[in-house]
Amino acid sequence: MSETGKRAICVGEATIELARGGDGRFALASSGDAFNTAIYLARAGQPTAFATALGDDPYSDAIVSLAAAEGIGTDLMTRVAGRLPALAMIDANLKGERRQHVWRDTAPARDLFELPNWSLTAAALTAARLVYFSGITLSIYSNAGLGRFLAALELARAAGVTIAFDGNFRADGWRGDLTRARTVFAEALKRVDIALPAYDDEAVLWGDRSPEATVERLRAFGVNEIAVKNGPNGALVASAGASELVPVPEVVTPIDVTAAGDGFNAGYLAARLARRSAIEAASAAHRLAGQVIRHRGAIVPRSGAAVH
């Protein structure tokens, strides 16, 4: 890991979110997988910024204000006149499983690496301590944007920046084109130091038969550190040529599993940035994820969001 004075930069999309509460009513909020991770990283005391593009509307203003209130650097949140951020409708079934519909075709976040100042975002990545992104991040960019983003990751990694990635595969984001998704993931994985996939996603995208198969495939891409999330079955952590199953400290009946993986990722990365071992990091990640699923919505009230 690089020196502690540098920031972690999460790259992705922040959406306007309408989430159904326990009373059946929808409440306005903001979310996005990389944005959620940025919030939890900042709450853990890690200097963090979020790289995205938003509109110049009041809802985009609210997203920027939320980031600032959470202590997230907003200097990489580019504003685009006349555009609106993506809109997400969030619901959950009786098991607490997330159901989501997103309207994002004209969202400015899709053009982050094609806007006039895209090179400033790319340059910021090379000065980070860690860059984090997800499969959803990859799914929103055009081929031109992907090329620039992946080139920026390569330059950042060459400069000593740690690159972390959660596959977070969502078929609808790729319009069902699994071949393109696999091709883009394969290119991204060549530039990744820490992979934080969820096993169920990897099974859908790659046909992995077990978390162990996921580890072997990611090792073949050259990823040196891997934590495969597998819900209540724990996380398989592979580092330095060895692997170990890290169980969840407590099996929790979820109220809402939204952002459980995002919380895990933040807990894991915060612990690694604090120079704790990969096994200790997975335990910390489980604890934070356990807190997240006890609450409705992606962001836990501050009183319940400590990272240990």
Distance CA 220, CA 262 (A): 25
**Collapsing DSSP states into helix, strand and coil, what is residue 99?**
strand
**Collapsing DSSP states into helix, strand and coil, what is residue 31?**
strand
pLDDT of residue 27: 86
pLDDT of residue 122: 98
pLDDT tens digits for range 222-259: 999 999 999 999 999 999 889 999 999 887 788 777 77
**Collapsing DSSP states into helix, strand and coil, what is residue 138?**
helix
H-only helix segments in 175-277: 178-189, 199-206, 211-220, 260-273
Residue pair 18/89 in contact by the 8 Å Cβ criterion: yes
Distance CA 143, CA 153 (A): 15
* Percent of the chain clearing pLDDT 70 (strictly above): 94
Distance CA 8, CA 22 (A): 34
Task: Name the residue type at position 123.
Answer: A
Distance CA 29, CA 20 (A): 11
Beta bridge mates, 235: 229, 246
pLDDT of residue 308: 44
* Contacts of residue 303, Cβ cutoff 8 Å, sequence gap at least 6: none
Place of tokens 């790659």: 206
pTM: 0.93
Question: Strand (E) positions, 44-180?
Answer: 48-54, 72-73, 77-79, 87-92, 98-103, 130-134, 162-166
pLDDT tens digits for range 251-277: 778 877 777 899 999 999 999 999 999
Topology of domain 8-304, CATH: UDP-N-acetylmuramoyl-L-alanine:D-glutamate ligase (3.40.1190)
Task: Name the residue type at position 179.
Answer: T
Distance CA 24, CA 72 (A): 31
When pLDDT is cut at 50, 70 and 90, the band that residue 294 belongs to is confident
Lowest mean pLDDT among 72-81, 86-95, 117-126, 281-290: 86-95
**Collapsing DSSP states into helix, strand and coil, what is residue 198?**
strand
When pLDDT is cut at 50, 70 and 90, the band that residue 4 belongs to is low
Place of tokens 């540098």: 6
Secondary structure element (H or E) that encloses residue 237, with its range? strand 235-239
Distance CA 86, CA 233 (A): 33
Secondary structure element (H or E) that encloses residue 8, with its range? strand 8-11
pLDDT tens digits for range 158-203: 999 999 999 999 999 999 899 999 999 999 999 999 999 999 999 9
Residue pair 52/141 in contact by the 8 Å Cβ criterion: no
Instruction: Compute the CA torsion angle 105, 19, 56, 62 (nearest 10 deg).
Output: -150
